[in-house]
Structure 1
């Protein structure tokens, strides 16, 4: 899953916009040379699988998948069926992006995110068996009895695990086809690569190739300040959920980070976004002009096999898709 330069170009299209808009953006992304498009899955946005079906109709070669869905809101058997459906209507272009989900979003629904690593692993193990046409009975972090699908994928569906912590990173390297690293900064990607290396050392030879992708928040525009301003909302949410070691790695002021988190918990989004500091944007988003972003992409590609250009993309989505493609081309060529 890579372009002519050898590195994979991915894009995250967030269903905060209508399906037809995202279908048009997917078509543009394909024209701009992207290899894969992920539709993110959050209960408060439009359904990613509905959006992916529209994206499939609008494209010819672009790989498509949820990025990422979690096996708490939706039963793993149902996720396998939905992904197989996307594979069928896209003539074998589906990928399966699965992760543990956002703890705060799940808590809004009264869902406890228990045993996340086991649940994610069991989910894609089960999905692979179902896609192979097997009837499955499973008792673990979830239950399935005599479950099977009334359809078969056109081919192998690659599994990409959304990961940030050390255990999920290692598990993905050992068992999955790829990883979507929830990070944008070289420091985080270098640390993640070391964790992946431990998992790869235990990977079975018959698992095939493994691909690491930086699932990076990106904001690109002609004007640096406009790009950075557009980065505030996603960076606020990243800071709000950042683990203490990550904040330490970037020397983020604890009080400033706590102020962002507290504003988010109160539901005061304008205040939370306003409390995002320049250091937070530098640590958790690749933001700036095409030239700035190309340099940051180049630094990231020293540690990963490719980049997924994630939300917010930029203040102007169509312009941002084109600029991100140009930045990836420069970074891949320079590398």
Structure 2
């Protein structure tokens, strides 16, 4: 399917590609996603994987129209001015297809690097405010959660406005994104979580300045799709384990996830025993934190999710076979839109 053949309903199709694979392989997947009708591809950012901006440069070369950007980087591992320059470079070499996915980062991963995640909401807001000024050609001095003195970029991104998407899960970050950013990447897959998030976003949109323009909410959802339901659910175990390990108490309660079972997963992750952690993921955890199953099952779950968001970013693990999963995810999105 291609973007031109879609339903008249305006639904954004996004995909997260993880640089756990070599850059050329990720570029191949981005090209396939473009062929399958996806609008935007995010390269995820984790210190233990390949550099997302290097990978994005390969994705640029392999594609023609799909929008591209990091999803999501954080302003703790890398200075915000540097992030603005890197994103502007992707926008430049892609002839204006850049997007900026930014968030507070994972607390446990930052802790591994000896980084304290202080004032996350302010730091994220200050980061993209500063980036916008730099992209507009301004010289910026900033004293806040970080420092920049007489900073400017030696390039002009072709986009009139590079869209900023904030990775968010908690109420304050959700409301801030709706008030100030161009879009939000909601770290959730289940309709109950997305409905709750939509309520928070409504509060932020109510305070959004008119001149800020339209705002877009996207579910940044863990998805695993395959021809065999059991294989799809098995592939979902690793990402679900990490989601459970970082889930807040209210989220676990919302899905009636046993606290002891969740703690068992967290403890195994903290010990670095990944096989044990993945093995402790329960069916209820997969149901709560991943859209997993066959094309038909996933289409039904996409349809339910789209009751609360403007689009879906199909995230890790995608499925046991990546090429097959991208094609199936495209088909599932088309079915969900046609049925909605």
Q: TM-score, normalised to structure 1's length?
A: 0.99
In 1, the alpha carbon distance for the partners of 2:101 and 2:213 equals 18
Which secondary structure does the structure 1 equivalent of 2:173 belong to? helix
Which secondary structure does the structure 1 equivalent of 2:184 belong to? strand
Which secondary structure does the structure 1 equivalent of 2:68 belong to? strand
Instruction: From 225, 238, 261, give the equivalent of 2:266.
Output: 261
Instruction: From 225, 241, 258, give the equivalent of 2:246.
Output: 241
Alignment of 1:263-302 (within 5 A): 263-302=268-307
Could you say which residue in structure 1 is the equivalent of 2:104?
Answer: 100
Superposed displacement of residue 48, structure 1: 0.3
Unaligned stretches of 5+ residues in structure 2: none
Superposed displacement of residue 148, structure 1: 0.0
Structure 1 segments (4+ residues) deviating >2 Å: 2-5
Which secondary structure does the structure 2 equivalent of 1:312 belong to? strand
Alignment of 1:95-174 (within 5 A): 95-155=99-159, 156-174=161-179
The CA RMSD over aligned residues, in Å, is 0.7
Instruction: From 23, 27, 50, give the equivalent of 1:19.
Output: 23
In 1, the alpha carbon distance for the partners of 2:14 and 2:152 equals 31
Instruction: From 213, 229, 233, give the equivalent of 1:228.
Output: 233
In 1, the alpha carbon distance for the partners of 2:273 and 2:30 equals 32
* CA deviation string 1:44-101 (max 9, x = no partner): 0000000000000000000000000000000000000000000000000000000000
Which secondary structure does the structure 1 equivalent of 2:134 belong to? helix
Instruction: From 200, 203, 206, give the equivalent of 1:198.
Output: 203
Superposed displacement of residue 11, structure 1: 0.2
Could you say which residue in structure 1 is the equivalent of 2:313?
Answer: 308
Could you say which residue in structure 2 is the equivalent of 1:327?
Answer: 332
In 1, the alpha carbon distance for the partners of 2:338 and 2:143 equals 49
Could you say which residue in structure 2 is the equivalent of 1:47?
Answer: 51
Unaligned stretches of 5+ residues in structure 1: none
- 1:31 maps to 2:35: yes
Alignment of 1:55-94 (within 5 A): 55-94=59-98
Which secondary structure does the structure 1 equivalent of 2:189 belong to? coil
In 2, the alpha carbon distance for the partners of 1:20 and 1:32 equals 18
In 2, the alpha carbon distance for the partners of 1:142 and 1:257 equals 35
In 1, the alpha carbon distance for the partners of 2:261 and 2:109 equals 22
In 2, the alpha carbon distance for the partners of 1:251 and 1:123 equals 36
Which secondary structure does the structure 1 equivalent of 2:48 belong to? coil
Which secondary structure does the structure 2 equivalent of 1:9 belong to? strand
Number of corresponding residues: 334
Q: TM-score, normalised to structure 2's length?
A: 0.98
